[in-house]
Structure 1
Amino acid sequence: MSGAGPTFVKLSQWAASRTDLFNAQLCLELGRLHDSNTAHSSNYTKRAVMQAFGVDSITQVFESFDERPLGVGAVAQVHSARLSKEFVGKHLSDTDKAGQQTNRHVAVKVLHPGVERKIKRDLRIMNWGAHVLGTLPGMKWLSLPEEVAVFGEMMESQVDLHVEARNAEKFSTNFANRRGVLFPHTCLPLQSKDVLVENYCDGVPLRAFLDINGHTPFDRKLGATGLEAFLRMLIYDNLVHADLHPGNILVKLSPPYVGSQLDRFVEDFYDMSPFKRTKHQSEHNLPSSAEAHHHIRGILADYDTGAITEQQKNTQIHEYTNFLYGNGFLPSLIFIDCGLVTSLDDDNRRNFIDLFEAVCTFDGHKAGALMIDRCTTPELVINPDVFVLRIQDIILQVRKVSFQLSKLTFSEVFGPVMSAVRNHHVKLAPDFINIIMAMFILEGIGRRLDPDSDILRVALPMLRQWLKEDARNELTWQRDRVNRGTSFNLLKVWLYIEVREYLDRIRDWGYDDSEFFGPFAPFITADSSLA
């Protein structure tokens, strides 16, 4: 797959995240393509950078430049570098100088040589295959050449790094007031589409948390943060990062915040409490974020070189993450490589939200009817009444699990739906498929971090709030009345889920140590355990 070209590497990256769909060994092998593709030469990197800046030597821009790439993707590779003080002083505006002088560590992204030509070659091959398959009986409804054209637009957008820079700025703006998720931002505006300079995002590869036995104390928070971030992109922002495989996600571990004098007084009083068995380690002895990341990356490097066994790697990561968690470190997610995004036009967004709302409220008949009414070729649908009944039956099966969707994976719900779509020739809009594939990938990651993650419980309050705002700001009075009804249905389902979870916790009280000794228990420390 690596030798077949960057387009096929993207397909491999998606498959590697779906351990519930493909063999585990296959996913492990394909997972190497997330950030370990074949690198191009350092000489080419230097020439591309010098040409982008219009200089004769790379030292005129950077005081240090690591020739070993941090990561190698399907279309580009990234290097760590440090801007020189002289370059910052000469070429940046006064408003940018202050921050850049204190934080000159940057990431330099350079496209692979000839990548645009290779992608066009891959797309020609795929387009030829699509036209051949389209001549077969019963294949017309798929409109395969149109699907290849849409996928081609997404791939070609990645060979212009100006597009990635704009996307990253949009994401940074959207998440400016949302905690737990970070995006890189452009440091130096360049005319070249082949080179991008962004602030260096220091973090731990997500694989450190995915590829170990058991779960770290940060896993549940990371899974919830990623799921919530994706749904906010989808429901509120209409700008979805469509390439969220593990190679494009980093984990930032931040030490506890040292606040005001009043905060310190409360902490000191808390430390003197007779209910506290031991004091937390002083913040002066705690590692910084950079030191914590370096330590975990060192464990991964020792395992990759064979210095330690897999069991030793797992043990060391568990011990260190327990130490960090016990001393108040907080996890955040960093989403990088923002070149591949998906957004819906007004009609398709309205269609998708209506369909999502129907699924969330378990209205299978409405969901099936909407899928037919708003597909691209409704006249080619086979047995539409049977299709509606099939979708209704799938939704009813989901409802039978008593709203505890943690018992179901995303593929178990949408797998039968996609099968019905194929059998009845209900062709969904290509943008719909892109979003569904992105949800497949993220849900696969979330399940590995937190097997009890529940996409419905997180989505319902967001969807209800968006429907209220949409009805108030954009729609007519008649549509407002309709949305009040659907919003009320969403509220009922959400309240039911909350009550069921509360009752389940009461029923299982005492079987889970975290009920007594969780992170909010004031009389126990993280290094304590039950006798």
Structure 2
Amino acid sequence: MFRSFARSCNFRSFRWSEIRGFSIKRRNLMIYSASAALIGYHSSNSVLKKYNLGGRMLFNDSLIPDPRGDTYEMGLFIASQNDWEDQVVNERNLTVKNSRNRLYRYCNVLMYKIGDFMEPIMVFLRFIELSCIFVPIFCLYPISYYGKLVILNNNNNNNSNDKANSPSVETSGSMLWFKMLRYCLELAGPSFIKLGQWAGSRTDLFPAGFCHEVMKLHSNVNPHSLEYTKLKVCSALDIPQEDFDYVFQEFSDEPIGIGAIAQVHLATFSEDYFNYKQLKSSFSNRDVAIKIIHPSARTKINRDLKIMNFFANLLDSIPTIEWLSFPDEVREFSYLMNLQLDLRIECLNLNRFNDNFKDNIKVKFPIGHIELTTRDVLFEEFIDGLPIQECLNVKDYINDYNPLLFKKISDPFINAFLQMLILDDFVHADLHPGNVLVRFIKTDKYENNIISTESESSKIIDSLKNSSKNGNFTDRLVEVLEEYTPQVCFIDTGLITELNETNRVNFIDLFNALARFDGYRAGELMIERSKTPETAIDKELFAIKTEKLIAKVKKKTFTLGTVSIGELLDQMLNMVRYHHVRLEGDFVSVIVAILLLEGIGRQLDPNLDLFERFVFSFYCYV
């Protein structure tokens, strides 16, 4: 900043003799005035000075997908890993190069050598800590064989001799052991909380009782300090900490959400900062949600992944469970974890979703501010919406009053998912009710444009929240649904399901067989296109069971009120596990997403013909 100012002053043409005639008082006044002007200019613009690239503000380095990735998300993952490795090497080289003298240089090199030497020791100490947590619970495993039988779900299967399709049954002892294991996972930290949540979604690999219990996992992580949050935010914005209050008009001291890996704060940019022309062009409003990764989270998770990989290779040597291929599953889990450790990836996901749904005014994603976002800090638009769970809590009353009202919410929700899955091949992989919000807008006659303002939508949400406190929430929601158009909003896009070219072809072939009710061919395809077809047992029997399952479904009407797609998929996954059919992780992620979709769609509209919508969208888009 000062250099550019100095160049503009053209000191070569300046002659000191020209002011020699001035009095000392006048000369001092000129110097003080110039200094004050420089200080004032710097203080008002220090938080705005950035690199202007092609007329667009680019504060921080973004990611470009690596062409070696077979999907967009895999390309981002490879680019992120390469960027992290380069960053570590460059920081080390820069520190050594800028050492004050040779002694400091040797000390810095020695410090890095000691750090490299200590890392395996720290991993071993972490292993000891985890052993103290998990060894006692594994020693108690024999209790799972005792106790009364507990039926977890009943799929109304008439063939009780068919173990793959029979109701899930566990002993009370096993349910107790699963509960104790869940507590141990919570105690072990964020890596194992995420591991449990991921394992809970893999009903093709693990028993239903285990999956049911670990899905209750929640983070008990304490929030990190406000000082650390401000330090990371200032680093992301490239501003000194004393300018923090200038940049933000409001900043929540307490996080509005705390997860295993990061926490979220709500903030409002100051008007001066927001009105800076290059910044204002990419922001719709001054309210932002800021996600900050917990300190040392990356180091702890990487150590845990090394330990998991060691035990996965150890378990893989056991012949009876070799078909599970635990090393491959740990690699997949490691991939998912590392995606969440680079917030630039989530920001790019948001922007891709916004591009995919730019013509759909009934669906909204927060705008991700990639020019501000770093690996550790994410800036995204704050959406003031009503959690969809609030609507689900009063669904019975509203459906009795007017069943068509909730279709105004369910239709854009279902259509958005089908577009993600079939047209875009870019699916939000964590569609639980906590990640879905509802706003209310006014549209023109043809529902092509929004004619209401942001402030009007915010006032509606505030009125609904106030009515919830006053006890007349349901009546107020009915009024709003009758007068306004719901806008379904999706948040938390850190996890994405994407099929590569091979898996997408396999998915289309499988869905085509199911749509034609060719269950036997569907069973054959699931084995032929699995990871390891040679590990499957009783292949012919698996295809016959799939044929019988689809035949039963064909006899019924495909209405969610009478046939649960969730139960059908559960039965299919039970068969997959029983016959050792190793599905691709992407396939299972799609199935889990459909299960979550059904969970919300069934509550919003019990008469929704989901299968018909799937088939119609499939043949329209594909």
Could you tell me the TM-score, scaled by structure 2's length?
A: 0.61
Structure 1 CA distance for aligned equivalents of residues 246 and 333 of structure 2: 39
- From 530, 544, 550, the equivalent of 1:375 is 530
Residue 296 of structure 1 corresponds to which residue in structure 2? Answer: 464
Query: 1:209 offset after TM fit, Å?
Result: 1.9
Count residues in correspondence: 418
- Note if contact 1:227-1:443 (Cα within 8 Å) is conserved in structure 2: no
Residue 81 of structure 1 corresponds to which residue in structure 2? Answer: 267
Deviations 1:395-435 (A, max 9, x none): 11111113335422223111221122122221111211122
- From 298, 317, 329, the equivalent of 1:147 is 329
Residue 45 of structure 1 corresponds to which residue in structure 2? Answer: 229
Quick one: structure 1 residues 183 and 163, their matched pair in 2 at CA, closer, same or farther if it must change by over 3 Å? same
Deviations 1:102-128 (A, max 9, x none): 722222221122222333344345434
Q: Over alpha carbons, which structure has the higher Rg?
A: 2
Corresponding residue SS for 2:319: coil
- Note if contact 2:254-2:265 (Cα within 8 Å) is conserved in structure 1: yes
- Note if contact 2:559-2:607 (Cα within 8 Å) is conserved in structure 1: no
Quick one: structure 1 residues 381 and 26, their matched pair in 2 at CA, closer, same or farther if it must change by over 3 Å? closer
The answer on 1:5 being equivalent to 2:189 is yes
- Note if contact 1:158-1:164 (Cα within 8 Å) is conserved in structure 2: yes
- Note if contact 1:224-1:453 (Cα within 8 Å) is conserved in structure 2: no
Structure 2 CA distance for aligned equivalents of residues 4 and 419 of structure 1: 29
Quick one: structure 1 residues 64 and 380, their matched pair in 2 at CA, closer, same or farther if it must change by over 3 Å? same
Quick one: structure 1 residues 159 and 299, their matched pair in 2 at CA, closer, same or farther if it must change by over 3 Å? farther
Q: For 1:444-523, what aligned pairs fall within 5 Å after superposition?
A: 444-467=599-622
| Structure 2: gaps spanning 5 or more residues | 1-184, 400-404, 447-451
The answer on 1:109 being equivalent to 2:328 is no
Residue 567 of structure 2 corresponds to which residue in structure 1? Answer: 412
- From 239, 243, 263, the equivalent of 1:55 is 239
Quick one: structure 1 residues 69 and 399, their matched pair in 2 at CA, closer, same or farther if it must change by over 3 Å? same
Quick one: structure 1 residues 226 and 128, their matched pair in 2 at CA, closer, same or farther if it must change by over 3 Å? farther
Residue 420 of structure 2 corresponds to which residue in structure 1? Answer: 233
Structure 2 CA distance for aligned equivalents of residues 62 and 443 of structure 1: 41
Query: 1:226 offset after TM fit, Å?
Result: 2.1
- From 433, 440, 458, the equivalent of 1:253 is 440
Deviations 1:228-276 (A, max 9, x none): 211211111111111222222111122x34679xxxxxxxxxxxxxxxx
- From 270, 275, 280, the equivalent of 1:97 is 280
Query: 1:13 offset after TM fit, Å?
Result: 6.3
Structure 2 CA distance for aligned equivalents of residues 340 and 325 of structure 1: 31
Query: 1:441 offset after TM fit, Å?
Result: 2.0
Query: 1:163 offset after TM fit, Å?
Result: 0.4
Instruction: Return the letter of the residue paired with 2:527.
Output: I
Residue 163 of structure 2 corresponds to which residue in structure 1? Answer: none
Corresponding residue SS for 2:320: coil
- Note if contact 1:108-1:196 (Cα within 8 Å) is conserved in structure 2: yes
Quick one: structure 1 residues 249 and 405, their matched pair in 2 at CA, closer, same or farther if it must change by over 3 Å? closer
Could you tell me the TM-score, scaled by structure 1's length?
A: 0.71
Residue 185 of structure 1 corresponds to which residue in structure 2? Answer: 367
- Note if contact 1:82-1:104 (Cα within 8 Å) is conserved in structure 2: yes
Deviations 1:456-493 (A, max 9, x none): 121111111223xxxxxxxxxxxxxxxxxxxxxxxxxx
Structure 1 CA distance for aligned equivalents of residues 222 and 433 of structure 2: 18
Instruction: Return the letter of the residue paired with 1:414.
Output: L
Deviations 1:209-240 (A, max 9, x none): 23447254653332332222112111111111
Deviations 1:110-153 (A, max 9, x none): 11222223333443454345334433333112212201211221
- Note if contact 1:215-1:449 (Cα within 8 Å) is conserved in structure 2: no
Moved more, 157-166 or 171-180: 171-180
- Note if contact 1:12-1:30 (Cα within 8 Å) is conserved in structure 2: no
Instruction: Return the letter of the residue paired with 1:457.
Output: E
Structure 2 CA distance for aligned equivalents of residues 288 and 31 of structure 1: 38
Q: For 1:269-348, what aligned pairs fall within 5 Å after superposition?
A: 288-298=456-466, 302=469, 312=471, 316-326=472-482, 328-348=483-503
Quick one: structure 1 residues 59 and 160, their matched pair in 2 at CA, closer, same or farther if it must change by over 3 Å? same
Quick one: structure 1 residues 113 and 12, their matched pair in 2 at CA, closer, same or farther if it must change by over 3 Å? same
Quick one: structure 1 residues 126 and 455, their matched pair in 2 at CA, closer, same or farther if it must change by over 3 Å? farther
Instruction: Return the letter of the residue paired with 1:443.
Output: E
Corresponding residue SS for 1:444: helix
The answer on 1:119 being equivalent to 2:301 is yes
Residue 408 of structure 2 corresponds to which residue in structure 1? Answer: 221
Structure 2 CA distance for aligned equivalents of residues 450 and 77 of structure 1: 34
- Note if contact 1:77-1:111 (Cα within 8 Å) is conserved in structure 2: yes
Instruction: Return the letter of the residue paired with 2:223.
Output: A
Quick one: structure 1 residues 53 and 232, their matched pair in 2 at CA, closer, same or farther if it must change by over 3 Å? same
Instruction: Return the letter of the residue paired with 1:173.
Output: D
Structure 1 CA distance for aligned equivalents of residues 562 and 309 of structure 2: 39
Structure 1 CA distance for aligned equivalents of residues 591 and 416 of structure 2: 15
Structure 2 CA distance for aligned equivalents of residues 72 and 363 of structure 1: 46
Structure 2 CA distance for aligned equivalents of residues 145 and 139 of structure 1: 12
Instruction: Return the letter of the residue paired with 1:147.
Output: E
- Note if contact 2:340-2:495 (Cα within 8 Å) is conserved in structure 1: yes
- Note if contact 2:195-2:333 (Cα within 8 Å) is conserved in structure 1: no
Structure 1 CA distance for aligned equivalents of residues 409 and 534 of structure 2: 44
Structure 2 CA distance for aligned equivalents of residues 149 and 84 of structure 1: 44
Quick one: structure 1 residues 212 and 40, their matched pair in 2 at CA, closer, same or farther if it must change by over 3 Å? farther
Structure 2 CA distance for aligned equivalents of residues 338 and 176 of structure 1: 17
Residue 486 of structure 1 corresponds to which residue in structure 2? Answer: none
- CA RMSD in angstroms, aligned pairs only: 3.1
Quick one: structure 1 residues 38 and 361, their matched pair in 2 at CA, closer, same or farther if it must change by over 3 Å? farther
Residue 166 of structure 1 corresponds to which residue in structure 2? Answer: 348
- Note if contact 1:155-1:340 (Cα within 8 Å) is conserved in structure 2: no
Deviations 1:85-108 (A, max 9, x none): 332345x52xx53564x7222222
- Note if contact 1:362-1:399 (Cα within 8 Å) is conserved in structure 2: yes
Structure 1 CA distance for aligned equivalents of residues 596 and 602 of structure 2: 10
Structure 2 CA distance for aligned equivalents of residues 221 and 6 of structure 1: 38
The answer on 1:438 being equivalent to 2:593 is yes
Deviations 1:331-356 (A, max 9, x none): 11111111111211111101011112
Quick one: structure 1 residues 379 and 385, their matched pair in 2 at CA, closer, same or farther if it must change by over 3 Å? same
Query: 1:191 offset after TM fit, Å?
Result: 6.0
Query: 1:68 offset after TM fit, Å?
Result: 2.5
Query: 1:364 offset after TM fit, Å?
Result: 0.3
- Note if contact 2:467-2:476 (Cα within 8 Å) is conserved in structure 1: no
Corresponding residue SS for 1:187: coil
Instruction: Return the letter of the residue paired with 1:291.
Output: K
Quick one: structure 1 residues 79 and 459, their matched pair in 2 at CA, closer, same or farther if it must change by over 3 Å? same
Residue 489 of structure 1 corresponds to which residue in structure 2? Answer: none
